[in-house]
Amino acid sequence: MKKTFKFAAAAGLLLSAFSAFADTFVFTAIPDEDESRLQQRFNKVADYLSAQTGAEVKYIPVKSYAAAITAFRNDQVQLAWFGGLSGVQARKLVAGSEAIAQGYEDQFFKTYFIANKSAGLSAEETLSAALKGKTFTFGSKGSTSGRLMPEFYLREQFNAAPEDIFSRVGFSGDHSRTIAQVQSGAYQVGAVNYTVWDNELAAGNIDPEKIQVIWTTPTYPDYQWTIRGDVDARFGKGFKEKMRKALLEMKDKDLLASFPRESFVPASNDDYAPIENTARAIGLLED
Amino acid sequence: MRPDSDALVLLNRLPGVRPAHSSGRRLRRISLLFIAIALVCLFLADLALYPTDPWRELGRIGWGFITPYWADSSTLLSALGQTVAFALLALIISIPLGLMLAVFYHWRPVRMLAAAVRSVHEIFWGLLFMQLYGLSATTGLLAILIPYTGVFAKVFAEMFDRQAPQPTLAVSPLSSRISRYAYTLIPQSLGEMRSYCRYRFECALRSSAILGFIGLPTLGFHLETAFKQGQYSEAAALLWVFFILIASIRFWLRGWLLPVYAALAIWLLPQSPPLGSSYAWQFISQDIWPRALQQGDLAGAAAWYWREFSQVAWPALLQTLYLTQIALVLTGVIALLCYPLASQAISGRALRWPGRLLLLIMRSTPEIMIAFILLLLLGPSGLPAVLALALHNGGLIAFLLANHSEQQPQRADDPKGINRYLYLHTPRLYPGFLAFLFYRWEVILRESAMMGILGIATIGFYIDSAFEEIRYDKAFFLIVVAAALNILIDSLSRRIRRRAGADLSAGVG
Amino acid sequence: MSVNADAAILFQLQQFDLTLGKHRVLHNINLTVRQGEKIAIIGPSGAGKSSLLEVLYRQQPQQIALCPQQGGLVDMLSVYNNIFMGGLERHSSVYNLLNLIRSFNTPRAEIQQLCNELGLEDKLWHSPDRLSGGQRQRVAVGRALYRQQPVFLGDEPVSALDPLQAENILQLLINRHNTLLVSLHNRRLALAHFDRVLALRAGELVYDGPAAALTSNDLDAFYAS
């Protein structure tokens, strides 16, 4: 509690508000699709974790991976559902933090390159040279599936930065928006998380007459739960293990649908070495 | 005791002798100059047009807009309450702070401080404070109140400048500056201040809502999510609520209710988990400086700064400036075209309310959403950005002009309709219109920062990228560069306004 | 009534010119004012009377009670506070700020007394914009009196008062100040109460001499175009 006194402005006003969180274990999560009603959906996850670990668990929503990383670093949250890249960045900033579980799907995640039919591109085995000069949009800037991996494969294939390959490079900010923008032709080509594409297709939001997948990346590890290293000291010995067990044993379809994942499987920091190397290779991560 | 110099400065403005009056010719020359600059920028700016097929998505947006829907009222009410709470508390703190700075505005460091704090967009203040205070009420409050303090300081100081000097002459120059202002210039400006604060409250509500985009629990939080994910009915519900909130301000914002509202607002401020580590200091002492500088390698640091400036900041600044100049002129055109719609004196009673509604929608819809819709129509380039900025700011200025137009004295033999617009109101409002526009200049410059989704490389795009990529050194440097440009435009605008004699009884920032 | 020629010099202007923009406001003014002089300034409007007063005010604002043209009252403040502001330098800032919220006893008694003398006894808590022109002018005079300075500069301080009131107020000002420079429209008052007259026309000093030497007709000539 002492730390909360640091707030320069409005400290007095807010004191009572902060005390509500004393000794509470807090986590955050940004699902890769459907960010609506986060609080309600993840409060259920919080209740589950609370029941399993015996600690008081709360959820706070954030808007971006960068905000999640900041909260994790500030110790405002002790556990976060990160994307592949943001997890690597967060663990680099907080010594001792650890990836403890990932989604079943995240073991072999992939990105679809999608194109508007009017661009005259067709599905191929490799990224075709016909992409050059088109307009292209990533998802959000800090996304693994919407930015890191597609950029990596673009650079690998064309040996050039995306801005030099395409006539214009945008960041739609979100996978759903990438689909909407490519479908409308605002951008000709885009890179999108495969689960979002599959779900939107199933939901009938995609018109196959207008938009198609033209290339699929090789698989890579993506979303994972990362926990701070100091939780055992703060919440009791063995707390980290308790939390890992609770996550891995989450079977309730309703809870899992919030992420949305089939189930959670064990993960370690080493599983994300490929992501880290990729991030270094394209200059998103230094030293 | 030495007499305070400023009482003497006031004497320079002897009664009966006014500074050269604004002549139509001078205003026309300045207008033409800005139009010419914008035309040159048209060739330099990145304004490609791409063929698109947007109708499916636009149809969904349109349908959503007229079928607003929100499932649970408690989230909506809480977001609404937070939006008002942040705006109100930020103003309650920033108005007295701004007033203090305005009293000492003759002092150069104060002017520089005020110019510096208002030169950074609320969103970027928010992102900076988030590093220090986490996701908390403090972050939200500071993000609004800090730039607003700078704006209040400037606008109040300009109000003081416009007041009659006689009361100040009747007071001893040996009295303290605070006493003197408290008895003369402050009470003299009180009416203007009050109406300006009202206007500013509407701006603060917008800022508060927009801060939701980076994670504060205001309307913008849900709005951004809903819009991003194509849940247009939900997005529309939030927008309509926001429109109603703005439109109804004059019915519920009453002076005597302020203490009640303030107490409510404090109670409403969101709870947030405490920050656990002493990361704030690390952020200030290390993260925002390039590694070379931290290691004491000054040459390396200089090289780093030069590289970031020449390769990133400079081209981005130019692009930002091109778009701003075009958007500025277009804002003026839209404002002049739209204001008569909402002025009863010109369009009559029947058109007034639809006109007012249109302007409300234009000025209250976040630019970024207008930009997204235009992006679907026009493809990615500076074009949707320019149009979005112009629609938003044009709607705002048109609203202010319409209010002024309705306050114009009316005579029975005045011309009616279009002639009244062309020959009476527009010429009368023109100096004020230019003043509004120049006040808005730096705001447009800042807002162009938000246009990163369009794939146009404004300085704001790179600032946002640097935050997303956890490169705070770069983010900080670019914010400083952008702020420097803003301060430049700010002082230029002040100079031009003075030269043109384009000034208003009520300033707008 | 005559002033000792050895009295200290208060103001001095030598071949003084004042130009604002393209307007020549004052031209070739030579003027010496000694302590204890009672001077009336006359001349048609636009002759430079106000400018001359302000130029003199600028020479030593610390010891001058200035009553500017049209009073320069602050409409948002009560008559009490408008007069109180004449004495701001005698109190700390905190005292002055608190006084805005709630008046202190001492200044309230002083100002009440002043208002009684000015015929404003029941107007202490009115705001000036609800007073008549004559009442406003008396509030401005009250503020100047509350400055409690040895020198008074007044720019048409009694122009809106009826003759009897004007006489009384002018006498009050003369009693309370050692040196006075007052611009006046009323020529009779100028001759009756002052020992020296300055006449201005088009920014130039056309007469500077004892009041006693002038007749009403002479004065009329200064106003002729």
Report residue B133 as tokens. Answer: 């205070």
Could you tell me which chain B residue has the CA closest to the CA of A62?
Answer: B215
Q: Are residues B56 and B88 part of one domain?
A: no
Which strands sit side by side in the sheet containing A79-82, from one edge to the other?
A: A57-59, A25-29, A79-82, A224-227, A98-103, A264-266
- Grade residue C225 by pLDDT with cuts at 50, 70 and 90: low
Running DSSP on this structure, what letter comes out for residue B52? Answer: -
Q: Are residues B311 and B396 part of one domain?
A: yes
Chain C neighbors (3+ CB pairs < 8 Å):
B
Q: What is the mean pLDDT of residues B469-476?
A: 92
Question: Which CATH number covers residue A212?
Answer: 3.40.190.10
Q: Are residues B138 and B204 part of one domain?
A: yes
Among A164, A198, A216, the domain boundary falls at: A216
Report residue B384 as tokens. Answer: 């949707």
Q: Are residues B220 and B130 part of one domain?
A: yes
Q: Which residues contact A144 (CB under 8 A, 6 or more apart)?
A: A83, A84, A85, A86, A109, A220, A222, A275
Residue A16: what pLDDT? Answer: 40
d(CA A6, CA C102): 37
Is B34:B441 a contact under the CB 8 Å cutoff? no
| 287 residues of chain A, pLDDT tens digit each | 333 333 333 444 444 444 456 689 999 998 887 777 888 899 999 999 999 999 999 999 998 899 999 999 989 999 999 999 999 999 999 999 999 999 999 999 999 999 999 999 999 888 989 999 999 999 988 899 999 999 999 999 999 999 999 998 999 888 988 999 999 998 999 999 999 999 899 988 899 999 999 999 999 999 999 999 999 999 999 999 999 999 999 999 999 999 989 999 999 999 999 999 999 988 888 76
pLDDT in tens, B437-462: 988 898 898 888 667 656 677 888 89
d(CA B508, CA B395): 14
> Considering CB atoms only, which of B58, B142, B453 is closest to A170?
B453
Q: Calculate how close chain C gets to B181, using CA atoms only, in Å.
A: 10
Among B271, B299, B330, the domain boundary falls at: B271
Interface test with B, best of A3, A4, A76, A178 (most B CBs within 10 A): A76
| Owning domain of residue A39 | 21-106+221-281
Could you tell me which chain B residue has the CA closest to the CA of C54?
Answer: B11
Residue B19 forms part of a structural domain: no
What is the SS3 assignment for A58-97?
A: EECCCCCHHHHHHHHHCCCCCEEEECHHHHHHHHHHCCCC
Closest CA to B327 of B460, B437, B482, B478: B437
Q: Calculate how close chain B gets to C213, using CA atoms only, in Å.
A: 32
Report residue B495 as tokens. Answer: 């100079």
ipTM greater than 0.85: yes
Is B120:B147 a contact under the CB 8 Å cutoff? yes
- A 10 A CB-CB count for C85 gives 29
| Owning domain of residue B302 | 28-67+291-509
Residue B23: what pLDDT? Answer: 63
Q: How many residues does chain B have?
A: 509
Q: Strand, helix or coil at B443?
A: helix
Query: What angle is formed at CA B343 by the lines to CA B338 and CA B347, rounded to 5 degrees?
Result: 85
Q: Are residues B81 and B225 part of one domain?
A: yes
Is B154:B438 a contact under the CB 8 Å cutoff? no
Q: Are residues A177 and A49 part of one domain?
A: no
C-alpha separations of B209 from A123, A197, B205, B218 in Å:
42, 30, 6, 5
Running DSSP on this structure, what letter comes out for residue A109? Answer: B
C91 at B interface, C-beta within 8 A: yes
- CB < 8 Å from B in window 18-77 of C: 20-21, 23, 25, 46, 50-51, 54, 57-58, 61-62, 66-77
Interface test with B, best of A74, A197, A287 (most B CBs within 10 A): A74
Q: Are residues B176 and B158 part of one domain?
A: yes
Architecture of domain C9-223: 3-Layer(aba) Sandwich (3.40)
Residue C213: what pLDDT? Answer: 83
Whether the bond into A260 is cis, omega within 30 of 0: yes
Q: What is the mean pLDDT of residues B319-334?
A: 94
Q: Are residues B127 and B187 part of one domain?
A: yes
Q: Calculate how close chain A gets to B436, using CA atoms only, in Å.
A: 32
Among A197, A216, A235, the domain boundary falls at: A216
- Grade residue B141 by pLDDT with cuts at 50, 70 and 90: very high
Number of domains into which chain A is organized? 2
Q: Which residues contact B100 (CB under 8 A, 6 or more apart)?
A: none
Q: Are residues A187 and A243 part of one domain?
A: no
The values of phi and psi at residue A56, to 5°, are -80, 120
C85 at B interface, C-beta within 8 A: yes
Residue A132 forms part of a structural domain: yes
Q: How many residues does chain A have?
A: 287
Question: Which CATH number covers residue B82?
Answer: 1.10.3720.10
Interface test with C, best of B103, B168, B171 (most C CBs within 10 A): B171
Could you tell me which chain C residue has the CA closest to the CA of B19?
Answer: C21
Amino acid letter, residue B55: W
The values of phi and psi at residue A207, to 5°, are -100, 105
Does the beta-carbon distance from B183 to C77 stay under 8 Å? yes
If you search the block for the tokens 């149809």, which residue do you land on?
A: B59
Amino acid letter, residue C25: V
Number of domains into which chain B is organized? 2
Q: Strand, helix or coil at B70?
A: coil
Is B117:B97 a contact under the CB 8 Å cutoff? no
